[in-house]
């Protein structure tokens, strides 16, 4: 685990102006309606199925992405032997996520929208190859004793976590975080007198995992999976880049990136309002001389 700032590279493709209005594009509207149904399932505590948008026409795809907008959370999952590289983003509707998979050459393998507290890859992949325990020294030098105390505390709370050989699976995911038993635990490193040797020992024992996330909602929260299941490192920075809080969290997914039931309810309502506005608008902006079938919006 490193202490350098994480840079998550997202799509570099330029945004283009859609060729028509979304009211003229039934496939785009259908995607939004399916997302609203998925949000309702998530609010009820049931898993919503991911929705592929890879086969949409270029116009319909652009209209859907434009309607959903950009949110505050970004994530990247490294490629492994079992999985390709993944980029995940939250849309402007909290709890509606977009995730894409890429082959080694950068080619797009999947383009998916998913309603819920957190997208499936973020639940399933960060700790698939992780260790279940911390390999920490029981005897150490005086300058690293503070680190040993932190590692021992984390090790104790790992005993409370549910056993899993493949991380948190989709069929056991915690959709309603307000009503679920809270097994998370956090250690505030900023409040502890850690010297460089102690911090180096903590980072060496926890290691670095394949997942990184950034939440830009309040300043900048940089989140990294460790190589121990399910331990995360979180750093909160202010607008000028000053570190405000450095902490370690034991949790399947850090709470700062999970959409709550209220978030999902608000997004369900906003999406309903958007669909109502689209319905009131009605078909009006077909490019002249070009049929709907040519646009993939039939």
Distance between CA atoms of residues 225 and 222, nearest Å: 10
Residue 205 has pLDDT above 60, yes or no: yes
What confidence score (pLDDT) does residue 161 get? 78
Where are the strands (E) in 1-105, listed by range?
Answer: 51-52, 73-77, 85-90, 96-102
CA distances from 266 to 28, 160, 176, 273 (A): 21, 33, 15, 11
Residue-range domain boundaries for the chain: 1-117+259-298, 123-257
Measured from the Cβ of residue 136, the count of other Cβ atoms closer than 10 Å reads 19
pTM over cut 0.85: no
CB atoms within 10 A of CB 195: 13
Q: What is the pLDDT of residue 283?
A: 52
CATH topology of domain 1-117+259-298: Ribosomal Protein S8; Chain: A, domain 1 (3.30.1370)
pLDDT of residue 6: 54
Q: Is the pLDDT of residue 286 over 60?
A: no
Q: What does the pLDDT average to over 172-195? A: 67
Q: What is the pLDDT of residues 3-44, one digit of tens each?
A: 454 556 544 444 555 447 899 999 999 999 999 999 999 999
Q: What are 225's strand-pairing partners?
A: 232
- The two domains 1-117+259-298 and 123-257 share their CATH topology (first three levels equal): yes
> Range with the lowest mean pLDDT among 64-68, 117-121, 148-152, 168-172?
168-172
Quickly state the pLDDT bin for 1 (edges 50, 70, 90). Answer: low
User: Residue 236: what pLDDT?
Assistant: 96
Q: How far is CA 276 from CA 21, 25, 176, 281, in A?
A: 15, 15, 27, 9
Superfamily of domain 123-257: HupH hydrogenase expression protein, C-terminal domain (3.30.1370.140)
């Amino acid at each position: 685990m490193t202490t350098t700032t994480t840079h998550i590279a997202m799509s570099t493709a330029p945004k283009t102006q859609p060729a028509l209005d979304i009211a003229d594009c039934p496939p785009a509207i259908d995607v939004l309606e399916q997302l609203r149904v998925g949000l309702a399932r998530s609010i009820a505590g049931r898993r919503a199925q991911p929705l592929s948008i890879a086969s949409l026409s270029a116009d319909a795809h652009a209209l859907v992405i434009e309607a959903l907008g950009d949110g505050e959370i970004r994530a990247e999952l490294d490629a492994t032997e079992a999985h390709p590289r993944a980029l995940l983003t939250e849309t402007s509707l909290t709890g509606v996520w977009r995730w894409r998979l890429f082959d080694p050459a950068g080619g797009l393998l999947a383009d998916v929208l998913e309603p819920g507290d957190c997208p499936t890859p973020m639940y399933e992949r960060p700790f698939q190859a992780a260790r279940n325990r911390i390999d920490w020294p029981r005897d150490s030098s005086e300058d690293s004793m503070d680190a040993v105390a932190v590692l021992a505390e984390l090790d104790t709370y790992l005993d409370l976590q549910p056993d899993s050989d493949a991380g948190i699976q989709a069929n056991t995911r915690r959709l309603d975080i307000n009503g679920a038993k809270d097994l998370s635990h956090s250690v505030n490193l900023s409040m502890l007198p850690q010297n460089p040797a102690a911090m180096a020992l903590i980072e060496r024992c926890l290691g670095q995992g394949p997942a990184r996330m950034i939440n830009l909602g309040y300043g900048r929260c940089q989140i990294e999976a460790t190589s121990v299941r399910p331990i995360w490192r979180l750093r909160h920075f202010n607008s000028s880049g000053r570190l405000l809080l450095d902490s370690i969290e034991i949790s399947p997914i850090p709470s700062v990136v999970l959409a709550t039931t209220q978030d999902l309810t608000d997004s369900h309502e906003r999406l309903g309002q958007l669909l109502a506005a689209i319905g009131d608008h009605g078909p009006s902006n077909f490019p002249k001389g070009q049929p709907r079938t040519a646009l993939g919006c039939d």
